[in-house]
Amino acid sequence: MTTETGHLGVTPPISTAESNEREKEVTASLMEELRQQNTFESVEEARTRESVLGRVAALVKKFVYQVSLQRGLSEAAASAAGGKIFTFGSYRLGVHGPGSDIDTLCVVPKHVSREDFFEVFENMLRSMEDATDVSQTIILGRPRGFRSNHQDQNIRHTFRFLMARLALSSIPDDLSLKDDNLLRNLDERCVRSLNGSRVNDEILRLVPNVQVYRDSLRCIKLWAQRRAIYSNVNGFFGGVAWAILVARICQLYPNAVAGAIVSRFFIIMYQWSWPQPVLLKQIEEGPLQVRVWNPKLYPADRSHRMPIITPAYPAMCATHNVTQSTQMIVTEEFKKGADIVDRVIVGTASWSELFAKHDFFHKYRYYLQVIASTGDSELHIKWAGTVESRIRQLVMKLEYVDSLILAHPFIKGFEQVSHCISEEEMRAVAQGQITDAVAKRTKADIEGIEEGSTVYSTTFYIGLLVEPKPINSVGPRKLDISYPTTEFTKLVRMWEKYDESSMGIFVRNIKSSGLPDYVFDEGERQTSKTLKRPKSGKGFGKTNNTSPDLPNKKRRRSEVPAPVGNEDDGIPGLSLSSATSAAPRDQYASTDRLVRTPQLPFGESAAVTTGAVAAQ
């Protein structure tokens, strides 16, 4: 599909040429590598997935019918009330893999409430044949959907549900979400829920070749996941952002094959003139009094570092969480990716190198551990999610610490279940100190023990890149992270459902040599180089380098113990002082400076992309 200008996108293409034979060859090898990497689901799994989707669609209609009768509608009106599901995310875009979640939007008429969805629909899911593990999915402490695993012919499907209530008395089977007027009289939550599907549909409408787009996106998605930069909540790019970026490159090369798209993707994204926004079409106004992304009007929009704008009305920034640190990390990964793909094109590298696992736990000498803990499994889902959603705030505070170049958040937490036989063990576990005895203990081992208890913990990691000590400097250097960590724990405890007696939050710094084995794959740790401790200084003092706030049913603030560990748990060569701050560093002190600056092939210029018009 083309627009009135004769092309897709906000600028003309960089090149409309067909791909050459070499690009077609590397595309074939790329597709073979993606198959080797198990990114495609089997025919059997696809068939059962479609079957389960059909059952879910029927269940939604039954749910609407049942609620309609409860509201006093007649049998005929209840039957006509309808209800429909729309998929979004990787499944809707056609880039899902084996075992991928199915993001599903349930659209219901106006007389069906959100409470009905979270009460009636959940019970119906639980009673559904082959349905297991139905539980609420918690986002920022607020119920937003349900996770339901369906098992059919030994194939498991996981659904994540959202609900949107339209201002209509019935939902017809042929309903399309394209009409902006459907958004009228809806609350913000429903608008956002609808936009997941609307954005995906618009992306597919705005790419010149859907199959090339899907093949290219499948590659970039796998690369981003392997390099640990696929996470919106942690300040990197989420699925929508990656989907829009790949779509933009497809617009700039409408006749290219996937291998060529991937090659240009890395080069152009590395050279992109941020904060110029990435747009698939001009931003449009619509019928609602809602906020549309506009940096000329809203100061918050001007602060977005790498704006990637959704194409469906109302336009939003999919990357508002990006921080200075994550921008530097993503940019460096673009550069490395460009170098690898360039070598793939000339035949000196293979695609498997592009999908090499991240080196996060080998990359830094110092790390922060953020440990969320509770004594209840259901409560822990909410608490750990709340803590994770605020990690980005800690990263932003750390960026202003003097002598700290960047703070690199890892994209997932590590969950552990520890069975303790004493209060001391519980407190140690909540501080990240899990002995071999505790790790090997089972739930049966603590049955009948009076002080026996189970602690659920999730540990998040932040890598710290510290400025090298100046050659002529004398004495220990001062690095104080007490202020950002203390402010972070205060922020987390401000959650309206926070309970000091049952929820713990603990922040401490550790050296790379102190990282637990569970962060490494089997055999990976032995390949890690041992880092030597600087000779100067004795490390952090015993105060302020941790944030003790642990769950303890008998605890009073005066009884909080000193952090487990000793002075060598801190960053050696650095001493504590009062909190200091400075403007964040502008350059990422890369450990790989041999990677050349990527360039487009001769005759191609990315300058055309700078002609994109931002929101007026």
End-to-end distance of the chain based on CA atoms, in angstroms?
Answer: 25
Average pLDDT across the chain, whole number: 84
Q: How many residues does the chain have?
A: 616
Contact of 265 with 216, CB cutoff 8 Å: yes
Residue 346 and residue 219 share a domain = yes
Given a cut of 90, whether residue 129 has pLDDT beyond it is: no
Residue 377 and residue 331 share a domain = no
Contact of 91 with 46, CB cutoff 8 Å: no
In a domain, 154, yes or no: yes
Q: Which residue has the higher pLDDT, 473 or 160?
A: 160
What is the predicted pLDDT for the residue at 347?
Answer: 95
What is the predicted pLDDT for the residue at 609?
Answer: 62
What is the predicted pLDDT for the residue at 593?
Answer: 39
Residue 325 and residue 223 share a domain = yes
pLDDT tens column, 217-268: 999 999 999 999 999 999 999 999 999 999 999 999 999 999 999 999 999 9
Given a cut of 60, whether residue 448 has pLDDT beyond it is: yes
> What CATH number does the domain containing 301 carry?
1.10.1410.10
Residue 58 and residue 188 share a domain = yes
Percent of the chain with pLDDT over 90: 65
In a domain, 596, yes or no: no
What is the predicted pLDDT for the residue at 189?
Answer: 87
Residues 6+ apart with CB under 8 A from 295: 275, 277, 301, 302, 304, 307, 614, 615
Q: In the structure, what pLDDT confidence band is assigned to residue 131 with cuts at 50, 70 and 90? A: low
Domain count, the chain: 3
When computed from its CA atoms, the radius of gyration of the chain, rounded to whole angstroms, is 26
What is the predicted pLDDT for the residue at 88?
Answer: 94
Given a cut of 80, whether residue 357 has pLDDT beyond it is: yes
In a domain, 608, yes or no: no
Given a cut of 90, whether residue 275 has pLDDT beyond it is: yes
pLDDT tens column, 511-538: 999 999 999 998 888 655 444 443 433 3
In a domain, 98, yes or no: yes
Q: How far is CA 354 from CA 34, 331, 351, 371, in A?
A: 11, 15, 5, 32
pLDDT tens column, 461-476: 999 999 988 888 777 7
In a domain, 3, yes or no: no
In a domain, 592, yes or no: no
Q: In the structure, what pLDDT confidence band is assigned to residue 130 with cuts at 50, 70 and 90? A: low
Least confident of 19-28, 185-194, 448-457, 546-555: 546-555
Residue 176 and residue 279 share a domain = no
- DSSP codes joined into one string, 548-581: -----TT--GGGPPPPSS-GGGS-TTEE--S--B
Q: Which residue has the higher pLDDT, 433 or 138?
A: 433
> What CATH number does the domain containing 426 carry?
3.30.70.590
Separation CA 81–CA 84 (nearest Å): 10
In a domain, 469, yes or no: yes
Least confident of 110-119, 374-383, 466-475, 599-608: 599-608
Q: In the structure, what pLDDT confidence band is assigned to residue 546 with cuts at 50, 70 and 90? A: very low
Residues 6+ apart with CB under 8 A from 321: 232, 233, 234, 235, 392
Residue 59: domain span: 43-192
Residue 475 and residue 553 share a domain = yes
Residue 229 and residue 163 share a domain = no
Strands 155-165 and 142-152: antiparallel
Mean pLDDT computed over 81-95:
96
Given a cut of 80, whether residue 144 has pLDDT beyond it is: no
Least confident of 189-203, 482-496, 559-573: 559-573
Residue 233 and residue 353 share a domain = yes
Least confident of 292-301, 448-457, 600-609: 600-609
In a domain, 439, yes or no: yes
Given a cut of 80, whether residue 313 has pLDDT beyond it is: yes
